[in-house]
Structure 1
Amino acid sequence: MASHPRGRLRRTLLAALVTAAVAVPVAGAARAVDVPAPAPAPVTPLVTAAPAELDARYAAGREALRAAERAAEAYGAHTRAAALRTMGAPGRRFLAFDGRAGGRSAEVVGDLARAERIAVLVPGADTDLDHYARFRAGAVALDDALRHQRAAPAAVVAWLGYRTPATGSSSSLTPGRADQAAPALRAFVEELHRAKPGARITLLCHSYGSVVCARSAAGLPVAALVLYGSPGTGFDRAAELGTRATVWAGRASGDWVGGVPHVRLPLPAGSELGFGTDPVDPAFGARTFAAGDGGHSDYLAPGSVPLDNLARIVDGQELRHG
C-alpha cells in the first residue's frame, strides 16, 4: 500500500533537516576565527537609570571597546579593529561590551534615562562584531520611527548578548545556542526593569532570536514579545511560553524563512532539530501583524510596513496596517 502523502512529506522534511545538520558544519567552519580581546572590567548592576549612573556604565563600555580595538590591531585583525573604532565613535553608548568569543554588547539608541518605552532588539544568525553595522542600523531606524510617530519617550537597546549561529549551520537548526543565551537575556531585561520599573519593555526577536526570546520568556517583566522572521520557537503554542506578555508574530511575504519546515525531531542527549509550529500559524495563538513584502532582513527598513507596526507595538498603540 502506498504511504500517505502527508507522511511522505513529513519524512522528506525531516530528511532535509537531518542532511543540513550533518552537512552544514563544514560551511560553518568557514566563519572568521575569533579575535582575542581582554576581559572587560566588572560593572556594577544598574540600580536606577539616573544620568550619572548611566554615564558611568557608558564610560566602562567605551573603555572595554578601546581595549578590544587595541588588541585586535595588535593581532593584525584590521577589519575587526575598524569595526570597533566605528562602534566607539563619540556619542555611542554601550551598557555592556565584551570583545571575546565573537563579541557581546548592549548598545543604547535614544535617551534611556527619560524612556517610558524600551525596545530590546534580539538578533538572529550571522550577527557579530564584524557584521554589527546592519544590526545597529535597525535600532536607529526603530528609534527614528518612534520619534516620528510622536510616541512616548523611548529608547532602543541593540542586545548582542550571545554567540549567534551561522545561517544554515547545525547550530541554527537546534536550540543549543538559544539555551545558552537565555540566562543572559533574562538577566539583562530584569536589570532594565529594576532600573526603570515604570517603563514598558518590549522584546523584538528576529529569526533565530525568536528562539532565544522563547527560551527566556517565562515570567519575564515585558509587556510584549514580538517574533518576526521566525523559524519557530521550539514551542507548539504561545501559551507554553509562560509569559503574561502579549505575543506577536509577523512574517514578510518575501521572507525565505517561510519555506522552513515547521517540524521538531528529537535528537540524542535531549536536543531537537527544528523549531515546530510556525508562529504566524493561528494554531500557535500569537497576535499577528502585517509585515509587508520585504525579505528576511527588511523588517526594520526605514519607511516600511513592518517597522511602522513594530514601533506601534513598542509604544502600545493600535496597529495601522493589517
Structure 2
Amino acid sequence: MRFRRSLIAAMVSITVLAGTGAAAAGAAVSDEQIAITTPPAGTGAWLHDHSLGRAMPDPATASAAVVARFFASLSAAEQQQLVREYPLVVGNFDGAPVALRYQANQQAMRQELARQSARAADPSTSSADRATAQTRIGTLQHLLSPGHQVLAFDPRGRGLVAEVYGDLSTAQRVSVLVPGSDVDLEHFYSSSQPTREPAGMAQSLRTEEASVSPGTSTAVIAWAGYVTPVGLGADAATARLAEAAAPRLESLMAGLAVTTEPVTAPTVVCHSYGSVVCGIAGPEIHSTEGVTDMVVLGSPGMDIPDAAALGRDVRLWATARNPGDWISNVPFVDVEGLGHGADPTSSDFGSRVIASTGSYGHTGYFTPGTASLRNFADVALGRYGDVVCAGDTASGDGCLTGLQ
C-alpha cells in the first residue's frame, strides 16, 4: 500500500509540475471519494410495498425493459401514487417514463430544498455546514425554476444530477454528455464560464446542432450521474470510480433505448475522466438502432488497449488535444492499476481523430466557433461527411474512411 501511494504521489507530481507549476503540486492530492453504487433512498420501503397487488421491480437489479413494462402496466393514478411516495426511486429509475421521472425529481428536489433550508437556519449548525447548505439551496432553486427537465437527482454525498436539454419524446438525435473530474450537484453550472461545466457544455452542443441542422429535433443530456474524482489525487489516477460509474452509464443508455425513439443510437460525448467511464462501459453498450458513436475529448486514456476493445457496436472518435490542454502532460501508462493506458488519439489506437482547431485549454472544446464543437455536432447529427479530421487536407478524408 505504501508503494502504491508513493507511486500515485509521483505520478500526480509529474503531471502537475509539468502542467501547472510546482506551487500547485502540494494541493493536487485530494481525499478519496466514496462511490455511490446502491439504489436511492426509499428503495427498501419500495420493495416491501404491496399496495398495488404486484411485486415491485428491484432498482438494484431490474433491467430497463422490465421497468418499462412495469410502469406501462400501471394506471395514471397508480403512477402518481408512486411519484408521491417514492420520488427518489421513480426519479432515478432507468426505464420509467421520462415525464414521470421529471415530475418525481421535482418533488425530490423540493424535499431536499426544505431540508437544506432548515439546515441553513439551524443555529446549532456549524458555519461551514451552513455555507454548504446555502450553496446547495442556490443550485436546487435553479433546478426547480421553470423549464428545467431533471432526469436524475440523488442528494447523497456531493449530489448527482442529470438534466435534459430538448424534448426526449420527439428528438430524432440524442446525445449524452459524460463529464470528468470535479463535477457534482454544486459544480453542474457555471454562470461566469458556462462551457466549463456539464450544463453549459450540453447547451453549447445543442445550440451548435440547431445551427448546423435547424430542421432536426435534438436532445442533449448532461449526465453528472456518478461520483467524480476531486483534484488530481488517487481517484483521478485510478479507474476505481469509473468502474463504479460504468454500470450506471450502461443503465442510462438501456433506459433511453426503451423510453425514447431517436432515428439512431444516442451519441456519447465523454470529457476527461468521463472517457475512462465510457471506455469501461463501452463494451456493454448495445443498441437496436445501430452503432453508437462515442466521442472522447481531453482524455487521459480510457482503460482499454485500443478502440477495438469497445466492440463492433461502438464507433470511437477521439478529439485532437489543443495546445493549452494540460492533459497532454499526463503519462499514458497503466502501472499497477495507476494511469489509464494508451492515448486514444495515438495513431495505433484505432480511433477516428477529429480536429479541435480554435479551442484552448482542458475545458475549451465546447467553445462556440471551434472545430471541436462543430465536429461534435456533426457526429451527433450523423453528418459524417462534414467532420473535419485532425491534420486533414482539403482533399483528404482522414478519419472518415469506411463510414456508411
Q: Whole-Å Cα distance in 2 between the matches of residues 174 and 114 of structure 1? A: 39
8 Å CA contact retained: 2:169, 2:261: no
Residue in structure 1 matching 2:166, options 110, 123, 128? 110
CA offset digits 1:54-109 (Å, max 9, x no partner): 33221111111122222222222101111111122110001121111211122110
Aligned residue in 2 for 1:122: 178
CA offset digits 1:127-150 (Å, max 9, x no partner): 011111021011111111111111
8 Å CA contact retained: 2:112, 2:155: yes
Structure 1 residue 59 and structure 2 residue 53: aligned? no
Aligned residue in 1 for 2:11: 17
- When residues 212 and 111 of structure 1 are mapped into structure 2, their CA distance, relative to the original with a 3 A threshold, is same
Q: Whole-Å Cα distance in 1 between the matches of residues 234 and 8 of structure 2? A: 14
Task: Find the residue that maps to 1:107 and give its secondary structure.
Answer: strand
Aligned residue in 1 for 2:300: 231
Q: Quick one: which amino acid aligns to residue 90 of structure 2?
A: V
Q: Whole-Å Cα distance in 2 between the matches of residues 97 and 91 of structure 1? A: 16
Q: Quick one: which amino acid aligns to residue 203 of structure 2?
A: V
Offset, 1:234 = 1.1
Q: What is the RMSD of the two structures over their aligned residues, measured on CA atoms?
A: 2.6
Task: Find the residue that maps to 1:275 and give its secondary structure.
Answer: coil
Q: Quick one: which amino acid aligns to residue 139 of structure 1?
A: A
Q: Whole-Å Cα distance in 2 between the matches of residues 15 and 101 of structure 1? A: 25
Aligned residue in 1 for 2:380: 314
Task: Find the residue that maps to 2:89 and give its secondary structure.
Answer: coil
- When residues 19 and 138 of structure 1 are mapped into structure 2, their CA distance, relative to the original with a 3 A threshold, is closer
Residue in structure 1 matching 2:240, options 159, 163, 176? 176
Residue in structure 1 matching 2:198, options 127, 135, 159? 135
Residue in structure 2 matching 1:147, options 203, 210, 213? 210
Aligned residue in 2 for 1:304: 370
Task: Find the residue that maps to 2:245 and give its secondary structure.
Answer: helix
CA offset digits 1:238-283 (Å, max 9, x no partner): 11123422100012232110111111101xxxxx000111010011
8 Å CA contact retained: 1:14, 1:265: no
Task: Find the residue that maps to 1:239 and give its secondary structure.
Answer: helix
8 Å CA contact retained: 1:96, 1:106: yes
8 Å CA contact retained: 1:38, 1:68: no
| TM-score relative to the length of structure 2 | 0.68
8 Å CA contact retained: 1:248, 1:288: yes
Aligned residue in 1 for 2:335: 265
Residue in structure 2 matching 1:252, options 322, 330, 334? 322
- When residues 276 and 82 of structure 1 are mapped into structure 2, their CA distance, relative to the original with a 3 A threshold, is same
Structure 1 residue 43 and structure 2 residue 90: aligned? yes
Aligned residue in 1 for 2:20: none
Structure 1 residue 274 and structure 2 residue 361: aligned? no
CA offset digits 1:137-187 (Å, max 9, x no partner): 111111111111116211000111100001311100000000000111000
- When residues 170 and 46 of structure 1 are mapped into structure 2, their CA distance, relative to the original with a 3 A threshold, is closer
CA offset digits 1:218-249 (Å, max 9, x no partner): 14135201111000011121111234221000
- When residues 214 and 320 of structure 1 are mapped into structure 2, their CA distance, relative to the original with a 3 A threshold, is closer
Offset, 1:20 = 7.4
Equivalences, count = 295
**5+ residue gaps, structure 1:** 1-12, 32-36, 267-271
Identity across aligned pairs (percent)?
A: 36
**5+ residue gaps, structure 2:** 1-6, 16-24, 34-39, 43-86, 121-132, 190-196, 390-404
Q: Whole-Å Cα distance in 2 between the matches of residues 84 and 243 of structure 1? A: 40
- When residues 69 and 30 of structure 1 are mapped into structure 2, their CA distance, relative to the original with a 3 A threshold, is farther
Q: Whole-Å Cα distance in 1 between the matches of residues 386 and 360 of structure 2? A: 18
Q: Whole-Å Cα distance in 2 between the matches of residues 24 and 173 of structure 1? A: 16
8 Å CA contact retained: 2:176, 2:268: yes
Task: Find the residue that maps to 1:138 and give its secondary structure.
Answer: helix
Q: Whole-Å Cα distance in 1 between the matches of residues 333 and 182 of structure 2? A: 23
Q: Whole-Å Cα distance in 2 between the matches of residues 295 and 19 of structure 1? A: 20
- Which deviates the most, 249-258 or 53-62? 53-62
Q: Whole-Å Cα distance in 2 between the matches of residues 127 and 60 of structure 1? A: 23
- Which deviates the most, 152-161 or 213-222? 213-222
Residue in structure 1 matching 2:135, options 58, 79, 87? 79
Q: Quick one: which amino acid aligns to residue 379 of structure 2?
A: I
8 Å CA contact retained: 2:170, 2:261: no
Structure 1 residue 202 and structure 2 residue 267: aligned? yes
Structure 1 residue 284 and structure 2 residue 328: aligned? no
Q: Whole-Å Cα distance in 2 between the matches of residues 46 and 29 of structure 1? A: 31
Of the two, which has the highest radius of gyration?
2
